[in-house]
Structure 1
Amino acid sequence: MKKLIILSVLISSVFTACKTDQKKPTIAVVEDTELTVLEKIANANGFENWKDVKSIKFTFNVDRDDEHFERTWLWKTSSNEVTMMTRQDTITYNRKAVDSTMTATDGGFVNDKFWLLAPYQLVWDQKSFTYKHTEGVEAPISKSTMHKLTTVYSNDGGYTPGDAYDYYFGDDFIIKEWVYRKENQSEPNMTTTWEDYKTINGLNISMMHKRPDADFSLFFTGVEVK
């Protein structure tokens, strides 16, 4: 999965001066810019608060049948320092300088962060994929009528180039279901719910993802946002 920019509002200031050279107050003219569907989804999940985040810590959990897997991450966003903590090991590295010895660890971080912050990745990654927004589509799990956003990543760069994701969401732009399709194949590789949303320091995060066709749940615990 992957590794994006909010369109800034264009502000122009108009200055006028009277004959006495006395300056009048500055008038800021703001041009409204229509948000893209990517930005609407991100903002519905608190993306405007991300600028205040200094660090985020979370434990990525997967229960599959009788097996349990987990790993904990601490991401210091300003320095891009990442620490992975498991029962076996603790590894700290900087994402600005990932070498071959850190590729597997960083790939795990990118995967787990994508599940946690996919609505934000839509903005962070928007130069890395093409997308299509369709209304009035039947969602694969609930069979409810929703919006559908399909993103297809480019074949260049990243850990899983060419992959596609179908996001299903309502008029509130909150993701309810999604489909992962490896290398943009037509058949889904994984379909899960997005549920149990919690707001933590302004970030709206889905804590639970379940598959309808398997004894599988992917969820987050110990989420801390500072």
Structure 2
Amino acid sequence: MKKIIVLSIILSSILTACKTDNNKVKTEVAEDTQLTVLEKIANANGFAHWKDVASIKFTFNVDRDSTHFERTWLWETASNEVTMMTRQDTITFNRKAVDSTMTATDGGFVNDKFWLLAPFQLVWDQKNFTYKHKENTEAPISKTKMHKLTTVYGNDGGYTPGDAYDYYFGDDYIIKEWAYRKENQEEPNMVTSWEDYKTLNKLNISMMHKRPDADFSLYFTEVEVK
């Protein structure tokens, strides 16, 4: 009798554990299906851990033919204080109070940060653009079938109103290629790869972008996430 009772308890425990695991899987699936494609891309790159980031420092580099350009940024995320460092100058300002003297510098930061954290910008900027998501679309560089997300920014506000971006990614929601279209024109102004991903404090960041039609590389060095 004791053996039967013990066996019953064990089976009951196994069934309860299975039900718990199944419920957990169902909950995770339900939560995932409720996310927008914007959130899925951001989360695939570690967006859930952004809340733990106190600062991020990075050097933005562009090699075009025989020329090289670079500038380094330090962004204190809580205070929104930004410092730009170049060979010529060091400028510190706060993004909560950008005046006319800082517009050009802030515009440079917005551009460079966008390249670095575009998957997160999809969540941060989602009130500022409309978007469409298509599957099985040919990517411009690899010519393989991928998901395509198109975002078109509004005509008011920002440094580049009306611009459009086409993101190409796989089922893992990691961006592989993108195209920039100024003022939402049909033909892209620039198409680049998204490659050399590195994980820094749980943020997944693409370090290299190359154009297929030019001697051009845009990349990041000395990236520090604290």
Is 2:80 aligned against 1:80?
Answer: yes
Q: CA RMSD in A?
A: 1.0
- Output one character per residue of 1:135-154: Cα deviation in whole Å (capped at 9) or x when no partner: 00000000010000000000
3-state secondary structure, aligned to 1:74: strand
Structure 1 vs Structure 2: percent identity of aligned residues?
Answer: 85
Aligned length, in residue pairs: 197
3-state secondary structure, aligned to 1:171: coil
Query: 1:56-71 residue pairs with structure 2 within 5 A?
Result: 56-71=56-71
What's the counterpart of residue 223 of structure 1?
A: 223
What's the counterpart of residue 131 of structure 2?
A: 131
1:161 positional shift:
0.2
What's the counterpart of residue 49 of structure 1?
A: 49
Alpha-carbon separation, structure 1, partners of 2:55 and 2:225? 6
Query: 1:108-147 residue pairs with structure 2 within 5 A?
Result: 108-147=108-147
TM-score (norm 1): 0.86
Query: 1:1-226 residue pairs with structure 2 within 5 A?
Result: 32-33=30-31, 34-226=34-226
Amino acid at match of 2:99: D
Task: Note the residue ranges of structure 1 that are not aligned, 5 or more in a row.
Answer: 1-29
Q: Which has the higher helix share?
A: 2
Asked which structure has the greater CA Rg, the reply is 2
TM-score (norm 2): 0.86
Amino acid at match of 1:113: K
- Output one character per residue of 1:41-79: Cα deviation in whole Å (capped at 9) or x when no partner: 000000000000000000000000000000000000000
1:200 positional shift:
0.2
3-state secondary structure, aligned to 1:113: helix
1:133 positional shift:
0.1
3-state secondary structure, aligned to 1:97: coil
Alpha-carbon separation, structure 1, partners of 2:135 and 2:157? 30
3-state secondary structure, aligned to 2:41: helix
1:202 positional shift:
0.5
Task: Note the residue ranges of structure 2 that are not aligned, 5 or more in a row.
Answer: 1-26
